[in-house]
Amino acid sequence: MIDELSIYKQSLSDRQFNFLKNFIETECGIKMPHSKRQMLEGRLRKRVKYLGYSSYKDYLDFVFNTKEGSLELINLIDVVTTNKTEFFREPDHFDFLRNVFIPEMLESDDIKNNNSLKIWSAGCSTGEEAYTILIEVFEDAQKYSWFPDFFVYATDISTNVLKKAKKGIYEIDKVNNIPYDIKKRYFLKSKDPEKQLVKVKKALRDRIFFKRLNFMDDKYYIKERFHGIFCRNVLIYFSKENQFEIIKKQISHLIHGGYYFMGHSESLHDLGLPLKRVAPSVYKKID
């Protein structure tokens, strides 16, 4: 009989931690210093228990040494990736979107010729950023006599967060800080008062495309060229070398004159990329 509680008495061995550390850094590019060892143990413990194993060793043997276990790799990656986000996080970027980005893009030849505005939310997590971008664009579109078609392309390495993002269902406290008129226009409140949930309206969900993407892939199989890319509070988990390679691949899908948005704690300093800083953590593609 499996002792389901025994996993709570265990820790990853040095060998197991170093193996996982190397796998995560190689496969996902995410830094896994020893300071995150306890966090990794806690997150893995839930998965080990869920699958009915009584030790980290049995779980890792299953994942890495069996044919069936290879399918569990995506779940393991889901477990270790950090997903923290919120609606209208770092609001300066949405002020820039409204006051600079959209007016400028509406005058661009690319928009006039293709009648389509495209923005990429890279590392979209559970979807709050992607839906916020769409809300801002919807709001701004009302101010112009003509506005192009538009959509948001949203990617993440975690299949679990993408499933939640596609549903567009959130706990009601997630939207507490959103102005009432915005909530009324873009969210539906659950009819069941006990559930305390809201759902993003179909008008927004129809203009967003979710897809799994690993930043460490050699090539991003994306056909679109974007006018703006939001990659915020994601690159801090990668080494400087990997940051350079990731942004280089990302901006190959950004039009000339398009904008790249980073988190306020991130920087492109010394990366030598064809991006010019135009506002705090906002860059414009110049080549």
Q: Strands 254-262 and 282-285, how do they pair?
A: antiparallel
Whether 6-80 and 92-285 share one fold: the answer is no
The architecture CATH gives domain 6-80: Orthogonal Bundle (1.10)
d(CA 238, CA 72): 23
**Can you give the residue ranges of every domain in the chain?**
6-80, 92-285
Give me the phi and psi of 25, to 5 degrees please: -70, -35
Place 1 in a pLDDT band, splitting at 50, 70 and 90: very low
Q: Which residues contact 112 (CB under 8 A, 6 or more apart)?
A: none
pLDDT in the model for residue 5: 58
Residue (of 82, 80, 84) closest to 24 by Cα position: 80
Across 175-196, average pLDDT: 90
pLDDT in the model for residue 107: 92
Q: What angle do CA 98, 155, 209 make, to 5 degrees?
A: 75
d(CA 13, CA 4): 19
Taking only the tens place, the pLDDT of each residue in 240-282 is 888 899 999 999 999 999 999 998 878 887 778 899 999 999 9
92-285 has CATH 3.40.50.150 classification: yes
Amino acid identity of 251? Answer: I
Across 52-69, average pLDDT: 86
d(CA 182, CA 254): 29
The CA distances from residue 169 to 166, 205, 245, in Å, are 8, 11, 34
Q: Which value, to the nearest 10 degrees, does the dihedral of the CA atoms of residues 21, 26, 32, 38 take?
A: -40
Taking only the tens place, the pLDDT of each residue in 134-144 is 999 999 999 99
